[in-house]
Amino acid sequence: MSKVIIIGGGAAGMMAGVFAARNHHEVHILEKNEKLGKKVFITGKGRCNVTNACDTEELFPAMMSNPKFLYSSFYSFTPQDVMEFFEKAGVPLKVERGNRVFPQSDHSSDIIRALERELKKAGAKIHLHTAVQEIVKKPVTDSANTLESEATLTESGSDAGKGRKGKKSPDIPQEKITGVILTDGTFMEGDAVIVATGGFSYQSTGSTGDGYRFARELGLKVTDIAPSLVPLKTKEDYIPKLQGLSLKNTGLTIKNGKKVLYEDFGEMMFTHFGVTGPMILSASAHIGAKLAKAPNGELSAYLDLKPALTKEQLDARILREFEAGPNKQFKNVIGVLFPSSLTPVMIELGGIPAEKKIHDISREERQHFIDLIKAFPFTITGMGEFKEAIITRGGVSVKEINPGTMESKKISGLYFAGEVLDLDAVTGGYNLQIAWSTAYLAAQAIQ
C-alpha cells in the first residue's frame, strides 16, 4: 500500500482518487477550492457531457494533440467503461446527437455527487481549502540506482565486462517523490503524487496553471499554452446586429485565401463580438495556430444557411415564393426563408433593394442572392481568451511521461492526469474522456 497524494479535485483528480483508493492505497485529495468538481459543474452548460459513446478507435480522430500518446489510456478505460462506471454509481445516462453522453437528469451535480460517493466508499480522504506550494523530491539512493543500472546493462548485454559498474542509465529515474509542501508550510509525506490541476481555462474554477509551475520546478518541459474551444472574434459590423441568433443545421467553411482549412456542420450562435456554439468551438481547436500565421491575422469564413438544398433547389424554392407574390416588395417576400433578425442583414448584403418589386428582380440578382445564402461571409480576426476557453491547448509535454502509466520518466512516483498534460480534443465529451482515462491509468499504475 502506498500513500497517494492527488493535487486537484476535478474530473481527473476525483477519478484517480476512486481507483487508487479501490486499490487499497491511502489516498489524499488536496483541493484548494471549497468543494470538488467546480469545473465539472459548469461543463456542457451545466449538463456535463460525460463522454462520447463512440467506439474506442473513433476517439483518436477527435484528438487535436498527441493522439498516439493516449492509446493505452483509452483502451484501458474506454467510453463504455466510463458509462458503466457512472451507471453503477447511480447516475442513469442518455446518449444524444453526435453520441454525446449526458446524465438523464441533465444535472452535472449528479456526476460530482457520484464521484464523491465512490471516493467516500473507497476510503479516500478529501482536504478542501488545501493548496500545494511545492512538490518535494529527492535523489534515488545510489545503491538502489546502481543495482537497477547494472540489471539494465546485464539484460541488454551492452558493455558487459567493460568495468562500467555503477554507471547510471538515462532510462531509470534518478529522483523520486517524497511528498508536498502546502501553502501553510506543512509537509505532507507521500509515496506518489498525481498532478491533476487542470489547465488555465475557466480560472474562476481554480484552473490557474499550478500544474505547469510544479512541472517546470521539477525540471519537466511544458509546451506553450493557448485557449482552445473558444468563441471566435469577427470583423464585420453586421455580425453584432445578429447577437443572440442561434442557427441549427448550418454549414461552415473556413479558408486561408483559396485553401480550405476547416469544414463542419452543426449549431452556432452570433454574439456581440463574433460567433460561438458547438460548431464554432470545435473550429477554434483546428484553426488557432493557423489564424496566428495567416496574412493580417485574418481568415475568411462562410456559412451555408441552407445546406440541405443545392443552389438549383434553392432557386426553385425562391421562385415559388416570387411567383406567389409578383407585385410584393422583396423585403415582404424573402422573410419566410430566414429568422426575423437575419432578414434585414440578408437584404443589406444581398444587393437587391428592399422595396424592389418581385417582378422587377432579374435572374442575375436572384442568383447573387442565392450565392449569399449558400456562402454567408464573415472574417475571423481573433480567438476568445482563457476566461472564455473550455479547455487549454498545450501543457506538460507528453515526451516527459510514460504513456502506459502516466508517470514521469525522470521522477519516480510523479504522475500527471487530465488537462494539465499537452492533450486536447474537439467538443463532444472527448476532453472529459481524456481526463477519466489518464486518471484511471495513473491510479492503476501506482504500486
The pLDDT mean for the chain works out to 92
d(CA 116, CA 51): 19
d(CA 337, CA 305): 10
Could you read off the pLDDT of 390-404 as tens digits, one per residue?
A: 899 999 999 999 999
Does residue 161 surpass a pLDDT of 70? no
* Maximum CA extent, the chain: 101
3-class secondary structure, 290 = helix
Q: What is the pLDDT of residue 142?
A: 54
Cell of 40: 465539472
If you average pLDDT over residues 440-445, what whole number do you get? Answer: 98
Question: pLDDT confidence of 203, banded at 50, 70, 90?
Answer: confident
If you average pLDDT over residues 199-226, what whole number do you get? Answer: 90
Report which of 49, 41, 46, 48 is spatially closest to residue 204, judged by C-alpha positions. Answer: 41
Could you read off the pLDDT of 323-370 as tens digits, one per residue?
A: 999 999 999 999 999 999 999 999 999 999 999 999 999 999 999 999
Q: What is the pLDDT of residue 53?
A: 98
Report which of 391, 117, 402 is spatially closest to residue 281, judged by C-alpha positions. Answer: 391
Does residue 288 surpass a pLDDT of 80? yes
Residue 403 phi, psi dihedral angles, 5° rounding: -70, -15
Q: In the Cβ-directed half-sphere of 45, how many Cα atoms lie within 13 Å?
A: 5
Question: pLDDT confidence of 164, banded at 50, 70, 90?
Answer: very low
Q: What is the pLDDT of residue 418?
A: 98
Q: What is the pLDDT of residue 157?
A: 41
Does residue 143 surpass a pLDDT of 80? no
Could you read off the pLDDT of 214-245 as tens digits, one per residue?
A: 999 999 999 999 999 999 999 999 999 999 99
Q: What is the pLDDT of residue 22?
A: 98
Which of 97-101, 236-240, 291-295, 321-325 comes out lowest in average pLDDT? 291-295
Q: What is the pLDDT of residue 205?
A: 74
How far is C-alpha 254 from the geometric centre of its chain's CA atoms? 21
Q: What is the pLDDT of residue 207?
A: 77
Q: What is the pLDDT of residue 204?
A: 74
Question: pLDDT confidence of 170, banded at 50, 70, 90?
Answer: low
Q: What is the pLDDT of residue 144?
A: 45
d(CA 97, CA 80): 17
